[in-house]
Amino acid sequence: MATIGMLAVVGYFAIGAARQYLIARITLREATATVKAKEYVRFDETNHTYLDDDGRRIEVSPGEQQWRVYYQIDHFNNLDEATRGRLLRSEEERSAAGRLRFRNKSKEWYEQIETGDQLRVLYQWRGGDSIDVAYVENPKSPNLQ
């Protein structure tokens, strides 16, 4: 009988830990990022694909235009220190390898932002050193998309 009680206590704590881990992974968190570069891209018959933030090849129609803003995330608050450290190292390695994160934004948004500006980023931690960026905002012009 004592063994069943002990198993119940261990199970209770294991379920609680799993629940906390799941909540940590689905929670949107806020960070800041620094604009590193801007680029206008116009696709044509020979150049009509690009790699997104996750390295997936995206096909676009010739003639399509993009106003890209490249950025690097500066911090990952609201996570434990070990996770924050892993994410920051991953972000620095990504930048050093020339794979800055970017967002395609409206021309108006693009024109309002400058290299060195701070952005507001909402992201989800996927576990390990992976994140999904859900939203990027220019605090100087929060209503522009």
Whether the pLDDT of residue 9 is over 60: the answer is no
Whether the pLDDT of residue 122 is over 60: the answer is yes
**Residues facing residue 88 across a β-bridge:** none
Q: Note down the domain range covering 128.
A: 28-137
Q: Are 125 and 84 in contact (CB under 8 A)?
A: no
Q: Is residue 62 part of a domain?
A: yes
Q: Is residue 54 part of a domain?
A: yes
Question: Would you state the pLDDT for residue 18?
Answer: 42
Q: Is residue 57 part of a domain?
A: yes
Whether the pLDDT of residue 1 is over 60: the answer is no
- pLDDT tens for each residue of 26-65: 689 999 999 999 999 999 999 999 988 878 899 999 999 9
Q: Are 122 and 134 in contact (CB under 8 A)?
A: yes
Q: Is residue 92 part of a domain?
A: yes
Whether the pLDDT of residue 20 is over 80: the answer is no
84/7: higher pLDDT:
84
Q: Is residue 126 part of a domain?
A: yes
Q: Is residue 91 part of a domain?
A: yes
**Residues facing residue 132 across a β-bridge:** 124
Question: Would you state the pLDDT for residue 129?
Answer: 87
| pTM across the whole model | 0.78
Q: Could you give the strand order of the β-sheet that contains 28-42, starting from the edge strand earlier in sequence?
A: 101-105, 65-73, 28-42, 118-127, 130-137
Question: Would you state the pLDDT for residue 53?
Answer: 80
- pLDDT tens for each residue of 128-141: 889 999 999 988 87
Q: Is residue 103 part of a domain?
A: yes
C-alpha 144/C-alpha 65 separation (Å) is 18
Count structural domains, the chain: 1
- pLDDT tens for each residue of 59-103: 999 999 999 999 999 999 889 999 999 999 999 999 999 899 999
Q: Is residue 130 part of a domain?
A: yes
Question: Would you state the pLDDT for residue 8?
Answer: 52
